[in-house]
Structure 1
Amino acid sequence: MTDTEAKVHFRVIRFIHEAGLRLQMTSVPLATASVIYHKFFRENSLQQYDPYLIATTALYVAGKAEEQHIKLRDIVNVCYRALHRSKPPLEMGEAFWSLRDTVANCELFVLRMLQFKISYQHPHKYLLHYLKFLKDWFEPYKWETTPIARTAWTFLKDSYHGNLCLRHKPQHIAVGLIYMALQCHGIEVPLQSNVAVPWWKVLTDDITDDIIKDIIEVVIWTYDLETMATT
């Protein structure tokens, strides 16, 4: 993937999140929409397909997959407004019905391209479980005054702007993001100096230093990409 393509994908994922929030979609359906988009363009090029059409369709498919079904009419209207901020809202006319039919037809096409595999395990549940586990290791005051959990959740949300979700297992992503959050705040997990197994191995025993390093590097690259995409 070239830097130019990466910047386009970053902008389109930001569009997915903006439109999804306007549609009151929760974090997991938004994550599923992002994965659908990334998986589609892992096999196809930007020269072949309109990324914003695929993104709009991904929102519609994700809503169904995660049982947060949103009317196609609302998705078309919200996505149109997110793309055309200076234009008036769509009226119930030829343009609206043309867009609606295009997204409806694209839904089946995207599903076929993904071989109807749109059920994914996300890091969210692992992150929640691991944070609750680690909380018991810290002194209450230390945990409450350091926003480790909030930082890790922010990293997770932002990570979908890149392709981290396609590169590593959800359990590993959760651990890697917690590790990164701890580093950012200069905090170490208590009682680690005299243990044979580090805390991250306790959480998932098949993770390695190299995996954690790669996860952190991908997230940092994604933030660098944000700077490039907005300049």
Structure 2
Amino acid sequence: DDAGSPPPNGGPAKKPAKAEPQQKELKEKYEKTCQMYTTMQHCAAKLNLPQMTVATAITFFHKFFSKYSLRQYKAEHVAATCLFLAGKTESTNRKMKEIISVSFRISEGHENYQKYRDILVDIEMQLIRVLEFDFNVVHPYRFFIKKMDEVRGAKEWKQLGWQLINDSYNTSVCTKRQPEEIAHAIIHVAAACL
């Protein structure tokens, strides 16, 4: 087996075949997460939910899919459930029928409404177990703003930093690092960009 050994022409070595499916799965997960984050933001806008609720929802989403694969649960169902539970957590709760209506474009009287409701209730129970009943999510926004308030004339810096924090939720960094660490990293990245 010469996987990993350099080719005779001196070009780059081939990667072991085992790594390719893992990379493909990671890429698919990242793309699906980005898609669901965008979907959650659109739904939140229609439901008049603040960014903190969306950030909590995507954090829940990352935690859920750290335990389960995208093949086990439909990301769309989990995203809607995360938005529903995040609303409760952030005291911006919306009714299940509102979440279903916006997420799946069906009304309470629709023939599939009860099916979606049952799916979301089941996933909510799974999500609560994954979270181990710990619904407290601290976000980097607070630490970022506190630090930026100490800097005069940092309007562009604040705007860029806020957007970078939003973008960071496309990755699972919110489940792997402390919010203070993320805020400090964002400050450095924003400073380097301006």
TM range (shorter): 0.7 to 0.9
2:187 maps to 1:170: no
CA contact (8 A) 2:53 2:92 kept: yes
CA contact (8 A) 1:30 1:62 kept: yes
CA contact (8 A) 1:57 1:106 kept: yes
2:110 maps to 1:93: yes
- Residues paired across the two proteins, number: 170
Q: CA deviation at 1:91?
A: 5.8
1:78-116 per-position Cα deviation (integer Å, ceiling 9, x unaligned): 0013xxxxxxx5461321122122212321221012211
CA contact (8 A) 2:101 2:108 kept: no
Counterpart for residue 193 of structure 2? 184
1:24-52 per-position Cα deviation (integer Å, ceiling 9, x unaligned): 11111111100000001011111111111
Amino acid at match of 1:33: A
Gaps of 5+ in 1: 82-88, 136-142, 186-231
CA contact (8 A) 1:65 1:118 kept: yes
1:151-196 per-position Cα deviation (integer Å, ceiling 9, x unaligned): 10011111111112122110111111111111111xxxxxxxxxxx
Counterpart for residue 130 of structure 2? 113
Counterpart for residue 55 of structure 2? 31
Percent identity between the two aligned chains: 26
In structure 1, C-alpha distance between the alignment counterparts of 2:26 and 2:130, rounded to whole Å: 23
In structure 1, C-alpha distance between the alignment counterparts of 2:27 and 2:119, rounded to whole Å: 29
In structure 2, C-alpha distance between the alignment counterparts of 1:23 and 1:123, rounded to whole Å: 23
2:164 maps to 1:147: no
In structure 2, C-alpha distance between the alignment counterparts of 1:48 and 1:156, rounded to whole Å: 29
In structure 2, C-alpha distance between the alignment counterparts of 1:44 and 1:26, rounded to whole Å: 27
Q: Secondary structure at the match of 2:109?
A: coil
Higher relative contact order, structure no. (Cα contacts within 8 Å, ≥ 6 residues apart) = 1
CA contact (8 A) 2:148 2:158 kept: yes
In structure 1, C-alpha distance between the alignment counterparts of 2:35 and 2:167, rounded to whole Å: 12
1:186-215 per-position Cα deviation (integer Å, ceiling 9, x unaligned): xxxxxxxxxxxxxxxxxxxxxxxxxxxxxx
Gaps of 5+ in 2: 1-24
Amino acid at match of 2:114: W
Amino acid at match of 2:179: P
Counterpart for residue 68 of structure 1? 92
In structure 1, C-alpha distance between the alignment counterparts of 2:188 and 2:108, rounded to whole Å: 49
TM-score under structure 1 length normalisation: 0.69
Q: Which residue among 121, 126, 143 is the counterpart of 1:104?
A: 121
Q: CA deviation at 1:73?
A: 0.8
2:101 maps to 1:77: yes
**Structural RMSD (CA):** 1.5
